[in-house]
Amino acid sequence: MSKMVASTELSPGVRFEMPNGSVYVTSGGEPTSALQARLWCAHPPDAVTFDPPRIDITAGQEVLLLSGKEAELHARHEGYVEAVFRNEMERRNEVMLRSAHERGTVAAAEQRQRDQTRLPWWRKLLTKRVSASDIR
């Protein structure tokens, strides 16, 4: 069950909900004066992004601490950052593979064309033109 807590009670790695419904996870290990958090599941007006920036949480701010089941529900939401990140990485991978395939196809076509213009040495000997004066 979720409960309201002061931001000063949050520890690193804890998920909490903001009033608009967006869920953040606290960052840990940074020696900063303010508590920082990163977007975990976006709800309007927060933008759905695959690499959300950290935000500062003020000391007097109250947030809604999430239970495990509530966090699970957010993990299935379309604004879930990990799913957005995975989709973006798959899209980028597809673009890279497509461009690599196109470059490979173009390079192979160019190589075939170069190979066709270069005749083997034995073919040059056999295809020497014979003129009418050479036959007499």
Helix (H) or strand (E) holding 35: strand 35-41
pLDDT digit string (tens) for 21-80? 888 888 865 555 678 888 888 877 777 777 788 888 877 778 888 877 777 777 777 777
Q: What is the mean pLDDT of the chain?
A: 78
Average pLDDT over residues 78-104: 87
47: its two tokens? 């933008």
**Predicted TM-score (pTM) of this structure:** 0.56
For residues 102 and 81, the model is more confident at 102
Looking at residue 10, its amino acid is L
- Spell out the domains of the chain, with CATH numbers in brackets: 3-80 (2.30.30)
Q: Can you name the residues that pair with 122 across neighbouring β-strands?
A: none
Question: Do residues 25 and 42 make contact, with C-beta atoms less than 8 angstroms apart?
Answer: no
